Every structure is written in structure tokens, then in C-alpha cells.
Amino acid sequence: MTSILLKNATLLASFDDAGTELADAGVYIEDHLIKQVGASKDLPKSADQVFDLRDHLILPGLVNTHHHLYQTLTRVVAQDANLFTWLKTLYPIWAKLTDEGVYISTLTGLAELMLSGCTTSSDHLYIYPNDCTLDSQIRAAREIGIRFHASRGSMSLGESKGGLPPDHVTENEAAILKDSQRLIETYHDASEHSLLRLVLAPCSPFSVTADLMRETANLARQYQRVHLHTHLAETLDEEQFCLAKFGMRPVDYVESLGWMGCDCWHAHCVHMNETEISKFAHTGTGVAHCPTSNMRLASGIAPIPKMTRAGVKIGLGVDGSASNDGSHLLAEARQAMLLQRIAPHQYSASMPLGGREGFAGDPQAMSAREALRLATRGGAATLGRTDIGSLEVGKSADLIAINLNRLNYVGAGHDPVAAAVFCHNFSVDLSIIHGRVVVEQGQLLSLDMTKPLQRHREISKMMLTS
């Protein structure tokens, strides 16, 4: 048995049901579990590793519910495009992706996430040209030491069949299902505190067939805790595509295919009405909110406060590094808070503006703590996990600590939790995943990234210039 003691933290925010925050507090860990949370004076006096976290804030590890890690290879492309134009520009570049590229880009993106406070991440790998496999992504996640939900994504509906992607980046549906089953039976760990779970994730309504969506759901539900994920209601173009092709709005379409329930979560969900939000709440269907990507591609602003009031499970996602151009999860929490504050409040384009342009927002639309709750408890619930997301006895030992004694927090010492969101952040100072220290003093310990970064630059250059 190995043990870790964290003590003397300025503040510990547990994000338990009561929202407990403790001054001069800490955590005691044995193996991969939290054994005690409380005042420093009440914790054990010794452990195998002891961290004096004076002038630090302790938070639960952050949970990333949507990403495309391979896109770290193709940042800042199609800078002024909407989603469909952006995809059309990038599909030919992504067609050059190799299995080595999957592995290297996964290491790179996960390192960036971990340094930003992420301890659990999902990823949506939906393009498999050349020799690409999900196996290499899983290998990278294991090596770097993050808790990981690996999604076997897919595209099968090419341009010749009325879909968006070029035919040469799509796959045969029988092969997709066969590989999905292989991956589940090879890698999926359904146990509590699991470090690796499999997700089945056809890409979107405009890139797969209804048959593949149905068959994928049937396959996933033959196994315990294999969840379903896709993009949904991201843009008005998608809504128009679904109405023209299926005669239904996106939410009604996935509902008709059996893609709602506690084992499903959908990325974006920007363009949903009150009836659709109510369906998500009543069925336990989750949402991955990706504010930066939605801003970058001008997709819109998801109605997160309305979803929250309705009882929808919502987590944060940084989304792909080609539509976010970064993988900083703590920054994404800040973005989520600020975006909701400028969202149009009871605004209609038909309303007279009285000679003015613009519109007012609501400064109370989302607080710093609400944003962090999305990034912790919300993300855990969205991924179907009750073993992470808060600092409580019996939960997985996933947590982060931030040194408050640095320039960007000056003047914010009266509320360290809010400072973690309002103030600009760089890397966290300490991160523990499954009882293992992976970041210390702002440095990644689990893997030397020197060679992977060099190879990443080479592969990226090849893809973008060849």
C-alpha cells in the first residue's frame, strides 16, 4: 500500500453535494482512493509522500467530455470558416493521418490537458485513413497516465451517398462494427475506478447512416458501461441537413434511433428548443458543452443555464484542437462562464433596436463555481461516473492543486475558488490521477515530451504542406 498526504492548503473545494469548502485542509490517499478529507490537524501525520500545500487551492481533477486529439496536428486552419466549410477544408488534410500520428497527437494533446488540470478525458477519434487505429491512442493514454474514455468513432456516409465527408475518408459499416466489438472486448474496463473505458461514437448525423447509429447502439448495450457519443445540434446547417434528409430536427432524429438515455451524451447541443431540453432531462441524456469551439466556428451559444435548470447533465469539452486551437480545460471553464454572461437575454432579432446595435447579457447567468462544477461533477455525470468529480472519501484519488502565490492571482486571495476561473491560468502546480503524482511544480512527470513534440512538429508539417 502506498499513501499520499496533502496538508495545509489555503482552501479545499470538494464539490460534494453540499459544496463544502475547507480552510487549512488537505486529503489523505491510500493507493488509488481518497481515505480522508478534512482539516489538516485531523489528517494522519505521515505518509509515503507528503505535500505541504500552504498557499495552494485544492480542487477535484477536471473532466473533459469532448475532444479530437488528432487535431493538435492541424491547428489554425480555416480560420474564418463555419463548421461545414471548416470540415470540407480539413478532410483532405486529415486523410494523411497515420497511426503514428494518432499516437503522437494523443500524447501531445493529453499532456496539454493534464497540465491544465484535466485528470479524466474522453476523446472522439472518428477518422481512420491509412493504418490508423484506436489501439495507438489507448497506448498513449496509458503511457501518460490519464483516466481515459476512448471513443471508437466512425464515418460511413460519404459525398456520393449524400453525406458531407469525401468517400475516401469513410469506412465500411460492417468493418466499423467488427472493430468496435474487438476494441470493447480487448480494452474496456467496466469496473469502478476504471482507468479505461470504451465509447462507441459515430461522428454525426451528416456523416453516418441511420442503420449504423442503430446497430452501434445495439452493440454498445450488450456490454456494461459502454456509452454512446456523437455530435448533435451544433449548427443551423446541421439542422437544415436533418430536416431535408430525414424530415426531423436533429434531436428528434437521434431519439428515433434510440440515441437517448443515461448511456448517451452529445457534443455541442447549441440549437435545442425547450421540448428537446426537457427530453434530455427526462431521459438522463448528457451534453458536452464546448464554448470555445462554438465561438471559433460561430456556431452559436448553447443555452446552458436553461439546461441546468431543467436538470440536464452537462460537462465541459475543449473540443478538437483544430476548432479550439488549444486543450486548456481550466481556461474552458472560464470561457463557459464568460460566454453565458454575454448570451442574448430574451433577445429576438425582430425586436426594434431603437437605433442601437448589440444586446445586453446577464452577469448572473453563470458563476465561477457553477463553471467549475460543470468541469468536475458535471463532467463525471456526463460520462456516467460516480467515482470521480468530487473530493470525498471512497472516490478515486484524482485532484489538482494550484499555487495562489503567483502574479496572476495577486489581489484575488479573498476567494481562491473564483480566482481559479476569473484570473488567467497557466499550468496547475500539482496533479494526482488514480493516486499517482503526474504533475509536480507545474511539470509533467509521467512522460518526457521532448521527442514526442519534435516528432509532432514533423508529422504536422508533412500533413499541412505535402
Left, alpha or beta for 247 (phi > 0: left; psi -120 to 50: alpha)?
A: left
Each residue's pLDDT tens digit, 45-100: 999 999 999 999 999 999 999 999 999 999 999 999 999 999 999 999 999 999 99
Instruction: Return the pLDDT at 347.
Output: 47
Whole-model pTM: value is 0.97
Q: In sequence order, what DSSP letters do the residues of 156-220 get, joined into one string? A: ---GGGT-SS-GGG---HHHHHHHHHHHHHHH---STT-SEEEEEEE--TTTS-HHHHHHHHHHH
254 Cβ contact list (under 8 Å, min separation 6): 205, 213, 230, 232, 260, 266
Instruction: Return the pLDDT at 346.
Output: 44
Instruction: Return the pLDDT at 354.
Output: 57
48 phi and psi angles, rounded to 5 deg = -65, -40
Each residue's pLDDT tens digit, 403-434: 999 999 999 999 999 999 999 878 999 999 99
Instruction: Return the pLDDT at 361.
Output: 86
Low-confidence ranges of the chain (pLDDT < 50): 346-349
Q: What is the DSSP letter of 396?
A: B
Query: Would you state the cell numbers that stand for residue 391, as one nine-digit string?
Result: 473530493
Instruction: Return the pLDDT at 352.
Output: 53
d(CA 186, CA 173): 20
Query: Would you state the cell numbers that stand for residue 211, as one nine-digit string?
Result: 442503420
Instruction: Return the pLDDT at 466.
Output: 79
Instruction: Return the pLDDT at 145.
Output: 98
